[in-house]
Amino acid sequence: MTAVTLPETGTATGMRRLGATVAPGIAYWFAAPSVLLLIATLLVPIVVVIGLSFTDYELGALGLSFLGFDNYAELAKDPTFWRSLKNTAYYTVLVVPGSVLIALALAVVICDLSRGRWFYQIAFFLPVTSTLIAMATVWKYLLHGTIGPVNHLFAAVGLPRMEFFGDPTLIMPALAIIGVWQLMGFNMVLFIAGLTAIPADLYEAAAVDGIDRPWERFLTVTLPLLGPTTLFVVVTSSITAFKVFDTVAVLTHGAPQGASDVLLYTTYLEGFQYLRIGPAAAMTVVFLAIIMVLSLLQTRILERKVHY
């Protein structure tokens, strides 16, 4: 960007500029397909979805009328919407600490090993690549009230059997277990990348200062330097958790008694099952607003990380 203002001399900068500038027309041709797709599949739809949220549009209807904020006012009174929002937040609060702390512990221990690092990385990463829907049916079986191995284990150590998918208080924790299982390997890889970026001489300096016990080293060197990575992982995990949909759509459908209604599933039902586009659009706007707040946080953290 600064190259533009530089005078064109025979210096290295001048050469660079020569290499980088051609007639602008070619740049537009290169960017055009992406720009068209960006407009057609993203920017226009976002504007349209915001517009639809102020209408009573239903799919197949010939006309629509402008309602102002009525859809939003309805949402504010809708117990299902609030329950969905609450459940989604609860799921996020369960999944984020679980997946971040386990990932951090795994990364720190794995980075400390002299051999076997790659093996552990692959093993813990495997769930990330698995087809969640297929593995969710496996988890439902694992957590089954009578024939699931988890309950066999509970019975063996004298704990009461738990109906994870029948008990309203256990359903979100059960879904969160699946969420943590799938997310922790992803976070672990991010932490390992962060750990490898910590210069080794900082540990040597700490050792000179008499800090040589692993736990002390972790608290005085690793954790502070991993701060930006940790924040980034927390926000990314929150975004992922907030988008929970698959496990609910295939395993619970919001049951039992709406205890597993989540925001995206409720929006999906409203928009694509009942075809009430207006209210669904309003829910989408709420969803977008929450995601945008989280993304802004993420960008802030990334900027900080760059300046580190």
Partner 1 sequence: MLAHPLLQRLGITPREMVLHAILLTGVFVTLFPFYWMILTSVRPAQEVFSAGFTWLPQAFVGLDNFAAALAQAPLLRFMLNGVIICSGILVVQLLTAIPCAYALAKFEFRGRELLFAMTLFALCVPIQVPALPLYVTLAYTGTLDSYFALMVPFFLSVFAIFLFRQVFKSFPDEIIQAARLDGLSEMAILWQIVVPSAGPAIAAFAVFSVTAHWNDLYWPLIVVTSKELAPPPLGMMYFADNETGANFGALMAAATLLTAPLMIAFLFAQRHFIRGVTMTGVK
| Contacts to partner 1 from residues 185-214, by CB under 8 A | 185-186, 189-190, 193-194, 197
CB of 206 to partner 1, least distance (A): 18
- The reply to whether 304 sits near partner 1 by the rule CB under 8 A is no
Contact 227, 220 (CB under 8 A): no
- The reply to whether 163 sits near partner 1 by the rule CB under 8 A is no
Nearer residue to partner 1 within complex by CB, 94 or 139? 139
Rg (Cα) of the chain, in Å, rounded?
25
Positive or negative: CA dihedral 60, 63, 68, 74: negative
Find, among 174, 136, 149, 124, the residue nearest to 251 by Cα: 136
Pair of tokens at residue 301: 């953290």
Q: Which 96-115 positions form the footprint of partner 1 (CB under 8 A)?
A: 106, 109-110, 112-115
- The reply to whether 147 sits near partner 1 by the rule CB under 8 A is yes
Q: Which 238-297 positions form the footprint of partner 1 (CB under 8 A)?
A: 243, 245-246, 249-250, 264, 267-268, 271-272, 277, 280-281, 284, 287-288, 291-292, 295
Residue 55's SS3 state is strand
Binding residue for partner 1, selected from 54, 91, 139, 164, defined by CB under 8 A: 139
Pair of tokens at residue 189: 């890889």
Other CB atoms within a 10 A radius of the CB of residue 13 amount to 14
CB of 175 to partner 1, least distance (A): 15
CB of 281 to partner 1, least distance (A): 6
- CB under 8 A: which stretch of 43-51, 65-73, 77-85, 254-262 binds partner 1? 43-51
Q: Which 57-96 positions form the footprint of partner 1 (CB under 8 A)?
A: 59
C-alpha distance from residue 237 to each of 35, 183, 234 (Å): 29, 8, 5
Find, among 125, 164, 130, 153, the residue nearest to 251 by Cα: 164
Contact 122, 300 (CB under 8 A): no
Binding residue for partner 1, selected from 6, 9, 11, 15, defined by CB under 8 A: 15
- CB under 8 A: which stretch of 34-42, 83-91, 93-101, 219-227 binds partner 1? 34-42
